[in-house]
């Protein structure tokens, strides 16, 4: 009996995937494909198309390597050098000197017509004109069936524009949950309004004067779109957000979510983005959802701080902890998460260490007689401008932001812009800077995409350029890379007092 | 592989250019992908330490995504041979063999 079950299982495994799925499997995993690059065998994971050409097929390059676009609108069309794309590659993309050399020598070719051309490219490394492809393109030992499956996959890759992009508008949305204080929400909304209206005013000016620019800007007039950010105000308890998100999405699907403020658990929203394959860029939340392909965060949030503290306690052999203060919902969530890491709680008089969850006078007074190590959460205890209260004692703050007081010229520039536009809300500097950063990244990515409205390409572009965007200095450094989803990775202790 | 019998005499060191993301776990995973032999070692560290090494070898870049492809080769002496950009396995292997033959 057991034997028969095993046999049935084996047969199920041996059944070939339907052609459509097999194409995706080859592209995304390289499963069952043999490849060599300059005659050395390549592991399947590196041989998978996605590894260089990326999920979008537009192939954002890195370092010396510029990767050819193989999405359907490029591969199955004749390739002619495009001034607009080349200008982006030359002046707006960070490549090394060697890669720029390639940009100066663009190629043209006829369209790939189908399986025959694709087989020749994969097996012999030749383009449809019979010219050699880059030496970095592997040579594949691949069956006719697999070539057919992959060709089918490539014909669909990026073939139709993603939602949220039409003849006039590039539509985004920002989410605000009901627990966001009104003044903070307004501070973010003012930045969104100021940013998008400046973008759209400039566009209007360009459109009102055809042939307005003898230089490069005119190249892009046809591809540029109004920047629209819908505001999704969620209401009621988190269990009802799923339906509200779907209703908003149905009425006008955005290309991506940008910024927004979600103080509590972000997982309902991250799950929704993953389900829709919709990029969600830099929401303001302390509680990132589980890692996935679509959600990009500033930092690892409160969980990073809590784990730092738990690890430090373990390192020092501190076993018991007293939680002090913390009436706010965020403080309570922090305490819940910290407990889930398995710390043992004790009354303050018996505890090895204390964790300060709010800096009010009552909480601080409780620590007067305490001689043990005191920890605090930077996210809970620092205010919006990064300023810290006077703790009146030594405390170890788990800290994921830039060191307080680090001079930053970009911050001054941004303050100037906020002041000029009348959007400045002095008590909400962090909210405003983070909102601005999400919009700035998106506007650069829109420029970079030119007329290729692919959500996947947008995400890859964000991964690529986050490090190059003017950073208002809120975090030690903001940088992503292929597949990376947390931009500020550094965290440590900020020691206050003796 | 191209080095054949010379391989055991080689030491290969790879240094991450993204030390904030590449922790030992990521490097182990990367090494496993190539079935890296024991003499091929992978390094990461504090961003400042990694930067200091890169600066010392004139291999630093201001932006991670615009990094150079760089291979440095030497035998026991002080002088390094630089390979910038893409090079195929055969070129590198013959350069390595040549260097080893010269140093005797």
| Interface membership of B25 toward A (CB under 8 Å) | no
Under the banding of pLDDT at 50, 70 and 90, the label for residue A17 is low
Residue A407 at interface with chain B, using a CB cutoff of 8 Å:
no
User: To the nearest whole angstrom, how far is the Cα of B67 from the nearest Cα of chain A?
Assistant: 4
CA angle A395, A401, A404 (to 5 degrees): 65
Show residues of chain B in contact with A479, CB under 8 Å. Answer: 20, 64
Are A96 and B66 a contacting pair at CB < 8 A?
Answer: yes
Would an 8 Å CB–CB cutoff place A45 in contact with chain B?
Answer: yes
- Could you give the percent of chain A with pLDDT greater than 90? 68
Report field, pTM of the whole predicted structure over 0.95:
no
Residue of chain B nearest A64, judged by CA positions: B68
Q: What is the share, in percent, of chain B residues with pLDDT greater than 90?
A: 38
Q: Do A481 and B34 touch (CB under 8 A)?
A: no
- Nearest CA distance, A220 vs chain B (angstrom): 25
Distance CA A153, CA A143 (A): 15
CA dihedral B52, B53, B54, B55 (to 10 degrees): 50
Nearest CB to A63; choose among B20, B67, B88: B67
Residues A287 and A299 sit within 8 Å (Cβ to Cβ): no
Q: Which of A77-91, A444-458, B88-102 has maximum average pLDDT? A: A444-458
pLDDT digits (tens, 9 = 90+) for B19-38: 999 999 999 999 998 889 99
Residue of A nearest to B18 (CA): A481
Query: In whole numbers, what is the pLDDT of chain B averaged over residues?
Result: 86
Task: Please tell me if residue B2 touches chain A, with a CB cutoff of 8 Å.
Answer: yes
Write the DSSP string, A393-458: S-EEEEE-SPPTT---HHHHHHHHHHHHHT---GGGHHHHHHHHHHHHHHHHHHHHHTT---HHHH
A43 with B85: Cβ contact below 8 A: no
- Name the CA dihedral angle for A78, A83, A89, A91, rounded to a multiple of 10 degrees: 180
Residue-wise pLDDT tens digits, B40-75: 999 999 999 999 999 999 888 878 887 888 889 888
Report how far apart, in Å, the C-alpha atoms of A365 and of each of A296, A324, A346, A361, A370 are. 39, 10, 18, 6, 10
What distance separates the 2 farthest-apart alpha carbons in chain A?
A: 82
Within 8 A of A64 by CB-CB distance, chain B residues are 68-69, 84-86
B2 chain-A contacts, CB cut-off 8 A? 40
Is the pLDDT reported for residue A498 higher than 90? no
CA angle A455, A269, A51 (to 5 degrees): 35
Which pair of tokens denotes residue A74? 């490029």
The answer to whether B33 contacts A46, with C-beta atoms less than 8 Å apart, is yes
Looking at the DSSP bridge assignments, the partners of residue A174 are A231
With CA atoms as reference, the chain B residue closest to A60 would be: B65
On whether any CB of chain B is under 8 Å from the CB of A468, the answer is yes
CA distance linking residue A392 with residue A356, whole number of Å: 13
Q: For residue range A287-302, what is the model confidence (pLDDT) as tens digits?
A: 999 999 999 999 999 9
Which residue in chain B is spatially nearest to A101 when comparing CA positions? B85
Q: What is the pLDDT of residues A400-426, one digit of tens each?
A: 999 888 888 899 999 999 999 999 998
Sign of the CA dihedral running A438, A443, A444, A446 = positive
B102 touches chain A (CB under 8 A): no
Q: Is there a contact between A484 and B21 if contact means CB atoms under 8 Å apart?
A: yes
Contact at 8 Å (CB) between A353 and A375? Answer: yes
Interatomic CA distance for residues A116 and B92, integer angstroms: 34
Compute the distance between CA of residue A220 and CA of residue A108 in angstroms, rounded to an integer. 21
**Could you tell me if B76 lies within 8 Å of chain A, comparing CB atoms?**
no
A223-251 pLDDT, tens digit per residue, is 889 999 999 999 999 999 999 999 999 99
User: What digits encode the pLDDT tens for the residues A463-485?
Assistant: 999 998 888 889 999 999 999 99
- Judged by CB atoms closer than 8 Å, whether chains meet at A481 and B65 is answered as yes
- Of the candidates B63, B69, B89, the beta carbon closest to that of A38 is on B89
Asked whether the beta carbons of residue A38 and residue B90 sit closer than 8 angstroms, the reply is yes
pLDDT band at A215 (very low <50, low <70, confident <90, very high): low
CA distance A440 to A367: 43
- Please judge whether B84 and A477 are an interchain contact, meaning their C-beta atoms are less than 8 angstroms apart: no
Reported for A377-380, long-range contacts at CB under 8 A and 24+ positions apart, including other chains, are: A377/A302, A377/A305, A377/A306, A377/A309, A377/A334, A378/A305, A378/A494, A379/A286, A379/A301, A379/A302, A379/A305, A379/A330, A379/A334, A380/A302, A380/A326, A380/A328, A380/A330, A380/A331, A380/A334
Are the Cβ atoms of A96 and B86 closer than 8 angstroms? no
Phi, psi of A489 (to 5 degrees): -100, -15
Task: Give the bridge partners for A35, in sequence order.
Answer: A42, A140
Burial class (CB in 10 A: 0-12, 13-18, 19+), A480: buried
Residue A40 phi, psi (nearest 5): -95, 135
| A107/A125: higher pLDDT | A125
B59 vs chain A: nearest CA distance in angstroms? 12
Can you tell me the distance from the alpha carbon of B1 to that of B89, in angstroms, rounded to the nearest whole number? Answer: 9
Find which of A47-61, A73-87, A276-290 is predicted with most confidence, using mean pLDDT: A276-290
Which chain B residues are within 8 Å of A102, Cβ to Cβ?
none
Q: Give the Cα separation of A74 and B50 in Å (integer).
A: 39
SS3 B101: helix
Nearest to B66 among A38, A95, A484 (CB): A95
Q: Which residue of B has its CA nearest to A95?
A: B66
Picking from B66, B69, B85, B88 by the largest number of A CB atoms within 10 A of its own CB, the best residue to mutate is: B66
pLDDT at A11: 41
Who among A94, A98, A135 is closest to B65 (CB)? A94
Q: The tokens of A264 are what? A: 């509590």
Find all residues with CB under 8 Å of A130, minimum gap 6, and list them.
none
Name A97's Cβ contacts closer than 8 Å, sequence gap at least 6: none
How far apart (Å, rounded) are the C-alpha atoms in residues A228 and A192?
9
Q: How far apart are CA B39 and CA A125, in angstroms?
A: 33
As a three-state string, the secondary structure of A187-228 is: HHHHHHHHHHHHHHHHHHHHHHCCCCCCCHHHHHCCCCCEEE
Q: Which residues contact B61 (CB under 8 A, 6 or more apart)?
A: A96, B17, B54, B67, B68
């Amino acid at each position: 009996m057991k034997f028969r079950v095993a046999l049935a299982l084996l047969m199920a495994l041996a059944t070939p995937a339907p052609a459509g799925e097999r194409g995706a499997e080859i592209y995304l995993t390289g499963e069952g494909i043999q490849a060599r690059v300059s005659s050395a065998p390549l592991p399947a994971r590196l041989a998978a198309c996605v590894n260089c050409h990326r999920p979008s097929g537009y192939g954002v390059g890195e370092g010396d390597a510029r990767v050819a676009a193989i999405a359907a609108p490029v591969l199955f069309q004749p390739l002619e050098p495009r001034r607009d794309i080349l200008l982006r590659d030359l002046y707006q993309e960070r490549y090394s000197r060697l890669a720029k050399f390639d940009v100066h020598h663009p190629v043209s070719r006829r369209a790939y017509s189908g399986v025959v051309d694709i087989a020749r490219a994969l097996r012999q490394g030749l383009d449809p004109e019979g010219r050699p492809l880059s030496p970095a393109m592997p040579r594949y030992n691949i069956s006719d069936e697999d070539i057919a499956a992959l060709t089918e996959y490539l014909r669909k890759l990026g073939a139709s524009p993603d939602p949220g992009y039409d003849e006039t508008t590039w539509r985004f949305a920002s989410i605000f949950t009901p627990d966001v204080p009104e003044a903070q929400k307004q501070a973010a909304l003012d930045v969104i309004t100021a940013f998008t209206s400046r973008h759209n005013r400039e566009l209007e000016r360009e459109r009102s004067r055809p042939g307005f620019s003898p230089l490069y800007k005119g190249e892009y007039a046809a591809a540029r779109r109004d920047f629209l950010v819908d505001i999704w105000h969620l209401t009621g308890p988190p269990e009802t957000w799923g339906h509200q998100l779907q209703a908003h999405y149905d009425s006008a699907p955005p290309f991506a979510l940008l910024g927004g403020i979600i103080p509590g658990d972000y997982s309902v929203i991250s799950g929704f983005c993953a389900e829709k394959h919709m990029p969600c860029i830099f929401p303001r939340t302390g509680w990132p959802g589980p890692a996935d392909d679509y959600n990009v965060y500033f930092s690892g949030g409160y969980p990073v701080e809590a784990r730092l503290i738990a690890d430090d306690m373990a390192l020092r052999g501190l076993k018991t902890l007293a939680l002090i203060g913390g009436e706010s919902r965020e403080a309570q969530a922090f305490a819940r998460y910290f407990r889930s890491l398995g710390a043992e709680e004790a009354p303050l008089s018996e505890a090895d260490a204390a964790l300060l969850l709010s800096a009010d006078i009552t909480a601080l007074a409780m620590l007067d007689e305490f001689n043990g190590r005191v920890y605090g959460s930077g996210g809970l205890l620092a205010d919006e401008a990064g300023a810290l209260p006077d703790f009146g004692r030594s405390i170890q703050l788990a800290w994921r932001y830039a060191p307080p007081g680090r001079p930053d010229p970009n911050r001054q520039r941004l303050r100037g812009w906020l002041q000029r536009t009348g959007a400045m809300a002095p008590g909400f500097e962090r909210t405003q800077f983070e909102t601005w950063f999400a919009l700035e990244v998106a506007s650069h990515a829109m420029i970079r995409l030119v007329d290729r409205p692919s959500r996947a390409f947008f995400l890859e572009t964000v991964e690529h350029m986050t490090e190059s965007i003017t950073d208002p200095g809120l975090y030690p450094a903001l940088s992503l890379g292929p597949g990376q989803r947390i931009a500020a990775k550094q965290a440590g202790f900020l020691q206050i007092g003796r | 592989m191209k080095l054949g019998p010379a391989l055991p005499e080689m030491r290969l060191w790879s240094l991450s250019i993204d030390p904030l993301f590449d922790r030992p776990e990521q490097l182990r995973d990367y090494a496993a992908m190539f079935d890296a032999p024991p003499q091929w070692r992978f390094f990461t560290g504090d961003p400042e330490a990694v930067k200091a090494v890169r600066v010392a070898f004139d291999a630093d870049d201001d932006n991670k995504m615009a990094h150079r492809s760089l291979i440095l080769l030497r035998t026991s002496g002080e002088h390094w041979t630089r390979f910038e950009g893409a090079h195929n396995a055969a070129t590198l292997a013959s350069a390595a063999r040549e260097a080893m033959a010269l140093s005797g």
